[in-house]
Amino acid sequence: FTGVRIGLAAAKGLCWGADLPLYGVSTLAAMAYGAGLPDGLICPVMDARRSQVYTALFCAEGGKLRRLAEDQAIALADWATQLRAYAQPIWLVGDGAALAAEALAGAGLSLLAPEHLRQQRAAGVALAALAEGTVQDAAYITPNYLRLPQAERERLARMKDKKE
């Protein structure tokens, strides 16, 4: 969470100071766009710890990506169940790709993208911005977290306990 805030603050400062537009893109979309994989399903996966992943699903056709599932934080077992509904191989990218491949191994549907295409790349961010990014005022852009930070979850749990 801290790294996202620092990166966003740097981007906002550069864009705001130079009066440049700032494009908001999903990290997961940037991973899918940056993979440069052939036609088929592309599933970016980031390890969210606690047996969860941050993920989405895209279909690559003719050099274009179409989103099939929105960005989400989900239990790996639940995501594996949903992915088994697709009757074609799924390219896995991201730091959670190997983890997801293990969960999907029994279904024989997962394909680990080559290591050099699996990790995030700046080109993916640029391609995602070109394809689906929205120009936003640098002063008002905020990160889109898929789940609350652990400290916030614990604070809310303490507040709930006090009310009961």
Q: Which of 141, 139, 149, 134 has the alpha carbon at shortest distance from 29?
A: 134
In tens, the pLDDT along 118-147 reads 888 889 988 998 888 777 777 778 777 777
In tens, the pLDDT along 46-100 reads 998 888 899 999 999 988 899 999 999 999 889 888 888 887 888 999 999 988 8
Predicted local distance difference test score (pLDDT) of residue 1: 65
Predicted local distance difference test score (pLDDT) of residue 23: 86
Predicted local distance difference test score (pLDDT) of residue 106: 66
Cβ proximity of 104 and 45 under 8 Å: no
CA distances from 73 to 35, 50, 70, 110 (A): 21, 11, 10, 19
Predicted local distance difference test score (pLDDT) of residue 69: 93
Is residue 109 predicted with pLDDT exceeding 70?
no
| Contacts of residue 28, Cβ cutoff 8 Å, sequence gap at least 6 | 44, 46, 54, 55, 56, 71, 94
Confidence of residue 108 (pLDDT cuts 50, 70, 90): low
**DSSP code, position 39:** S
Tell me the average pLDDT across 98-103.
85
